[in-house]
Amino acid sequence: MGLDLRARAILFLGCSLTAVSLLITQSVSAQNLTFEDIKRLPAPPAAQRLSYGSDPHQFGELRLPTGKKPFPVVVVIHGGCWYSEYDLSQLANFNANLTRLGVATWSLEYRRIGNPGGGWPGTFADVAGGTDHLRVLGRSYPLNLKRVIVVGHSAGGHLALWLAARRRLPIDSPLYSNNPLQLRGVVSLAGITDLKRYRPYCGGAVDKLLGGSPQEFPVKYKQTSPVELMPLKLEQRLIHGALDKIVPADFSKDYAAQARRKGDSVRLTILPNAGHFDLIAPQSSAWPAVENAVRSLLRLKKR
């Protein structure tokens, strides 16, 4: 089978940047990777780290590809159960590989549980504000704002679906925006689709995110849980590993079935040999499913 992921990571770190760029495109089998495996991947720095607000956690990393301008844009949202100890660095390798498709990536950091202002409503306001900030970035960078999609992993998948649905929020919601940036589609990678159902997982993170239970805060759950906000009326791609124990695949299966019943365009891909973290490892055999989802939503031709 060749080198396993840990051996590859060690080899990458000892190689020149040229060798890394070659090795990074090679594949290994999906193998139920761990978060430690992801952290060992090369983390190419972004060319630009730009603020979209005044808080230290309100920033994004912008990566631009080479090729024909202006570039389609992928807004990327990292996971980690919305906890502050997990940040956007986990997706550096993922984002660098996405730019190889000819797209710009705008990877968002945001206030999380444990940060001042994190949780309701700050976490949601940040990903919304960070996404809408593309209008500002478009004045200085060659971005095609008519071709924007959002990709999120795990808790980031929840936030990605929420971003796609936020235009359905009532005008009296603290998260309401009268002019959200228009998206062409959303890719949820092992996304948390139902906040009520996810409450027993991840150390009670959902209650910490929203401040309590659905009985205490029914409106918060209704305005932040993707399953409560259907139909999104937007193309959706759901990708999930069958071996996922952190967010079981039934979250995507059940969401997809309900979304279709409500008239949404949803494509569900279950990867039989993949776990939770394979989906954000471009060296994994799960990567083609992610790449195909991005290509299909942005109508990208192979380079």
CA 150 distance to own-chain centroid: 7
- Specify the pLDDT at position 29: 54
Name the percent of the chain lying above pLDDT 70. 90
Residue 13: exposure state from Cβ atoms within 10 A (0-12, 13-18, ≥19): exposed
> What is the Cα–Cα distance from 91 to 97, expressed in whole angstroms?
10
Q: Spell out a b/e string for 245-261, using b for 16 or more CB atoms within 10 Å of the CB, else e.
A: ebbbbebbeebbebbbe
Residue 108's DSSP bridge partners are 60, 77
pTM recorded for the entire structure: 0.90
Phi, psi of 297 (to 5 degrees): -70, -35
| Residue 31 pLDDT grade (very low, low, confident, very high; cuts 50, 70, 90) | confident
15-19, 48-52, 279-283, 292-296: range with lowest mean pLDDT: 15-19
- Specify the pLDDT at position 206: 98
pLDDT tens-place string over residues 113-125: 999 999 999 999 9
24-33, 82-91, 209-218, 279-288: range with lowest mean pLDDT: 24-33
Give the number of other Cβ atoms within 10 Å of residue 35's Cβ. 15
> What is the Cα–Cα distance from 130 to 38, expressed in whole angstroms?
25
> What is the Cα–Cα distance from 131 to 49, expressed in whole angstroms?
14
Q: Which domains does the chain have, with CATH numbers?
A: 5-298 (3.40.50.1820)
